[in-house]
Amino acid sequence: MSVRELVVLGTASQVPTRERHHHGCFLRWDDEGLLLDPGEGAQRQLLLAGVPASAITRICLTHLHGDHCLGLPGVVQRLSLDGVTRPVPVHFPASGEEHYDRLRHASVFHDVTQVHGVPVREAGVVATGRFGTLEAVPLDHGIETYGYRLVEPDGRRMVPDRLAAHGISGPAVGELQRHGRLGDVTLEQVSEPRPGQRFAFVMDTRLCDGVHALAEGADLLVIESTYLHRDVALAQAHGHLTARQAATVAAEAGVGTLVLTHFSQRYPDLVAFEAEAREVFDGELVVARELDRVRLRR
Amino acid sequence: MSVRELVVLGTASQVPTRERHHHGCFLRWDDEGLLLDPGEGAQRQLLLAGVPASAITRICLTHLHGDHCLGLPGVVQRLSLDGVTRPVPVHFPASGEEHYDRLRHASVFHDVTQVHGVPVREAGVVATGRFGTLEAVPLDHGIETYGYRLVEPDGRRMVPDRLAAHGISGPAVGELQRHGRLGDVTLEQVSEPRPGQRFAFVMDTRLCDGVHALAEGADLLVIESTYLHRDVALAQAHGHLTARQAATVAAEAGVGTLVLTHFSQRYPDLVAFEAEAREVFDGELVVARELDRVRLRR
């Protein structure tokens, strides 16, 4: 069964708190399992979330600050320990290659998994697959940073009543899908358009074109909101977003489900993040808590 | 006030479990704060234990397997973030120097703390200070591994009644201590011997001479007991100890307080570790739990 859901591993920016682990997300997208920005402790948070290392097919790092990548060594080593032998690509900004190599080989272990770095050297498609395309878009954080989005191509959904009306069933359905027609019956006659879904992952950054480009039409947007808007000057200075900024981008971009995360330790309570985002965004809103799961419905 | 206590950060061997974080210990020894084998998550566990990074004066790694060192980058970076500027030496087996360097500079951060590696090249004293000596002793784990012990020199404790009998008080006491006598009164007349205390840290290893040497006369021994004795063949094969082996060493060495830790994930319940150790050791026994504190009394 194809499941598309986000698993929140941690929600802290920079330093953990009593309630929050370092940042990290896992995106289950049909057969693909994307680990996004694993901060320290990601290995154990995956365990608590019931996600085995073997579910990870790909890893994306937005940038090489510690709170977004210090969980990588533990995950890399756990993949080997669990005997995963298929390749696991890791995408990261090319200027971070030296640090990536250190994290990849951080300590002594029996290295059996083909974890291989795929440095992002420019904006654009970094991978294609059954999921469609995975694209990297530059952000503005002082250090080279890329956000990512998954873009599924538009497709068509078969309509059972129409298939039945034309007497098409069983293996003939697959044949019709593959060839676009079956005798006189065309694919268009028995199906309806199904828009591809989009997932976007935006952190860390101040407002910039990349934020808008990534968010555009996202069914699910995970975006940093390190600060509340009363601290917008701090956000700007440190290259981060406020909840209001993130929610405004989401509203303008027609986002379906908005997930705010990556909160500064200065805010012990997250209620204000929800209130601030609600003022400008009226879609589904999740102010992320540890181990939250956010399902993306088709 | 001089406090000597062990703070348990995590108790897992190799992989974390739902109940156990990766291994790590913090030893507060008067003015010294030793961080021992910080596994992944040490930064957050220190926070939960109420130990600020600034309390760390020295770090010891027994070996470069991930479960004993992947917490180092987070701690190193936290020291800088918290503005600690005094030198923090890190002791580790010399063959692990390349991996140490990777952990030391694992990701991009503003590096202000003088964290400097002090590779252990041979058995013996690796540091001296007000605490006495810090010694490294080789263990048997397949990869170069050193256990550590703190050895405080024997001293003398002033006896208030005897001081009073000689009419000695105030600054005269310090003068007597510094010079060994004051007029006709000798230090021996007004004081009694106070044996120095010893702390020992033993992991990871199978039974070997080093285990016994480290444990000898320890007031506080922290020792790995990865396995129960029914799995002694596994322990031997993987270079680890059983609870019975660890407790037997402690009994023979005259250990005061024995702390067992570093438990395999195969044992969800630790009751059997306590029972097994109790059969052979009748001193103070602690089967370590996360965030336990073990006080060393003078």
pLDDT in tens, A136-177: 999 999 999 999 999 999 999 899 999 999 999 999 999 998
According to the model, what pLDDT value does residue A126 have?
A: 98
Q: Where exactly are the structural domains of chain A?
A: 4-154+195-295, 157-190
C-beta atoms of B106 and A109 within 8 A = no
How would residue A2 be classed by pLDDT, with cut points 50, 70 and 90? Answer: confident
Question: A–B: how many Cβ contacts below 8 A?
Answer: 110
C-beta atoms of B66 and A44 within 8 A = no
Instruction: Give tens-digit pLDDT for A110-140.
Output: 999 999 999 999 999 999 999 999 999 999 9
pLDDT at B106 over 60: yes
Q: Which residues pair with A194 in a beta bridge?
A: A155
State which H helix or E strand residue B33 sits in: strand B32-36
pLDDT at B138 over 90: yes
How would residue B61 be classed by pLDDT, with cut points 50, 70 and 90? Answer: very high
Round the average pLDDT of chain A to a whole number and report it: 96
d(C-alpha B42, C-alpha B22), whole Å: 8
C-beta atoms of A44 and B40 within 8 A = yes
DSSP β-ladder status, B181-182 and B185-186? antiparallel
Helical packing angle, A97-104 and A72-81, nearest 10°? 40
pLDDT at A17 over 70: yes
State the complex-level ipTM.
0.93
Strand order in the sheet with A4-10: A115-120, A88-93, A58-60, A32-36, A24-29, A4-10, A293-295
How would residue A51 be classed by pLDDT, with cut points 50, 70 and 90? Answer: very high
Mutation target among A11, A15, A92 for the B interface, most CBs of B within 10 A? A15
Nearest Cβ partner for B21 among A14, A44, A64 = A44
Q: What is the mean pLDDT of residues A50-63?
A: 98
Cβ atoms of residues B257 and B199 within 8 Å: no
Q: What is the mean pLDDT of residues B235-257?
A: 98
Give the residue, A256 or B1, on which the prediction is more confident.
A256
Instruction: Give tens-digit pLDDT for A207-253.
Output: 999 999 999 999 999 999 999 999 999 999 999 999 999 999 999 99
C-beta atoms of A108 and B81 within 8 A = no
DSSP B137: E
Residues whose CB falls within 8 Å of the CB of residue B98, separated by 6 or more in sequence, listed in order: none
B144 → chain A, closest CA residue = A108
According to the model, what pLDDT value does residue A298 have?
A: 78
Q: What is the mean pLDDT of residues B268-272?
A: 96
Q: What are the residues of chain B with a beta carbon less than 8 Å away from any beta carbon of chain A? A: 14-18, 21-22, 40-41, 43-44, 47-48, 63-66, 69-71, 73-74, 77-78, 81, 96, 99, 102-103, 105-109, 143
Peptide bond into A269 cis (omega under 30): no
**Tokens found for residue B163:** 């001081």
How would residue B242 be classed by pLDDT, with cut points 50, 70 and 90? Answer: very high
A144: left (phi over 0), alpha (psi -120 to 50) or beta: beta
Q: What is the mean pLDDT of residues B230-247?
A: 98
C-beta atoms of B21 and A40 within 8 A = no
B78 → chain A, closest CA residue = A15
C-beta atoms of B66 and A143 within 8 A = no
- Chain A residue numbers with beta carbons less than 8 Å from the beta carbon of B16 are 43-44, 47
A77 → chain B, closest CA residue = B66
Q: Which residues of A119-154 are buried (b: 16+ CB within 10 A; e: fewer)?
A: ebeeeeebbeeebbbbbbbbbebeebbbbbbbbbee
Query: Which one is catalytic: A30, A31, A37, A67?
Result: A67
**Tokens found for residue B145:** 């591994």
Say whether A30 is catalytic. Answer: no
Cβ atoms of residues A134 and A125 within 8 Å: yes
pLDDT at B169 over 60: yes
According to the model, what pLDDT value does residue A90 have?
A: 98
Cα separation values, A43 from A32, A38, B15, B177, Å: 18, 8, 9, 54
Q: What is the mean pLDDT of residues B131-160?
A: 96
Q: What is the mean pLDDT of residues B248-275?
A: 97
pLDDT at A72 over 60: yes
d(C-alpha B295, C-alpha A143), whole Å: 45
- Chain B residue numbers with beta carbons less than 8 Å from the beta carbon of A71 are 40
B21 → chain A, closest CA residue = A44
C-beta atoms of B16 and A47 within 8 A = yes
- Chain A residue numbers with beta carbons less than 8 Å from the beta carbon of B64 are 107-108
Cβ atoms within 10 Å of B113's Cβ, excluding its own: 22
According to the model, what pLDDT value does residue B297 have?
A: 84
- Please report, as a single letter, which amino acid is at residue A46: L
Q: Which residues pair with B119 in a beta bridge?
A: B92
Cα dihedral value A214, A216, A219, A222, nearest 10: 40
Q: pLDDT above 70 covers what percent of chain A?
A: 100
Q: What are the residues of chain A with a beta carbon less than 8 Å away from any beta carbon of chain B? A: 14-18, 21-22, 40-41, 43-44, 47-48, 63-66, 69-71, 73-74, 77-78, 81, 96, 99, 102-103, 105-109, 143
C-beta atoms of B70 and A106 within 8 A = yes
C-beta atoms of B15 and A78 within 8 A = yes
d(C-alpha A40, C-alpha A227), whole Å: 21
Q: What is the mean pLDDT of residues A41-62?
A: 97
How would residue B111 be classed by pLDDT, with cut points 50, 70 and 90? Answer: very high
pLDDT at B265 over 90: yes
According to the model, what pLDDT value does residue B33 have?
A: 98
Topology (CATH) of A4-154+195-295? Metallo-beta-lactamase; Chain A (3.60.15)
According to the model, what pLDDT value does residue B148 have?
A: 98
d(C-alpha B180, C-alpha A297), whole Å: 82
